[in-house]
């Protein structure tokens, strides 16, 4: 579903050690690789469920690692987009707002629209975890296109 010329590299952050400033003395190898990958990426696509009106703890933890140590913010200046999924009818709207707030501190540039809020997510995937809902698939395609266009626009004005 990606636009022509774009590639997506999925990074699972669920097994990262819990961020702790004491660990900054020697950053764990998987985190170093992750930070390097973020740094090299042209843009970031965040994917998250909504947990207690916010993003998942696993994503927040990865964000912390990306932003540390001081003066080594791997997220700095990156264009970004968010997709959220939830079993609720709101699709993670509050998690998305929270993430936008966090992105201010990270100095990231998220696109504003479209918003992919995958509500009642349990109804929209098949047994292979493929997204089956045509409306959501359309929004996902638009989101990817918009992120790629935004990334190219930022780059050409740099």
d(CA 80, CA 63): 13
Work out the burial of residue 91: count CB atoms within 10 Å of its CB; fewer than 13 is exposed, 13-18 middle, 19 or more buried: buried
Q: Within 10 Å of residue 62's Cβ, how many Cβ atoms?
A: 23
83: contact with ligand FMN by CB under 6 A: no
90: contact with ligand FMN by CB under 6 A: yes
Residue among 61, 88, 145, 146 that touches ligand FMN (CB under 6 A): 88
31: contact with ligand FMN by CB under 6 A: no
- 49 vs 110 by CB, closer to ligand FMN: 49
- Selected range binding ligand FMN among 9-17, 66-74, 81-89, 109-117, rule: CB under 6 A: 81-89
117: contact with ligand FMN by CB under 6 A: no
49: contact with ligand FMN by CB under 6 A: yes
53: contact with ligand FMN by CB under 6 A: yes
Instruction: List all residues 6 or more positions away from 12 whose beta carbon is below 8 Å from its beta carbon.
Output: none
d(CA 77, CA 79): 7
d(CA 70, CA 130): 39
Which residues contact ligand FMN (rule: CB under 6 A)? 49-53, 85-88, 90, 92, 121
């Amino acid at each position: 579903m990606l636009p022509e010329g774009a590639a997506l590299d999925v990074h699972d952050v669920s097994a990262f050690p819990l961020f702790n400033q004491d660990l900054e003395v020697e950053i764990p190898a998987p985190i170093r690789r992750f930070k390097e990958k973020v740094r090299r990426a042209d843009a970031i696509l965040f994917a998250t469920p909504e947990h207690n009106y916010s993003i998942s703890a696993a994503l927040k933890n990865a964000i912390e690692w990306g932003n540390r140590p001081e003066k080594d913010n791997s997220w700095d200046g990156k264009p970004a987009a968010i997709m959220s999924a939830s079993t609720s009818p709101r699709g993670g709207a509050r998690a998305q707002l929270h993430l936008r707030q966090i992105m201010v501190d990270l100095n990231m540039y998220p696109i504003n629209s479209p918003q992919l809020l995958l509500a009642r997510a349990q109804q929209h995937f098949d047994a292979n975890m493929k997204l089956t809902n045509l409306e959501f698939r359309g929004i996902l395609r638009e989101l990817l296109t918009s992120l790629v266009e935004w990334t190219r626009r930022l780059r050409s004005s740099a």
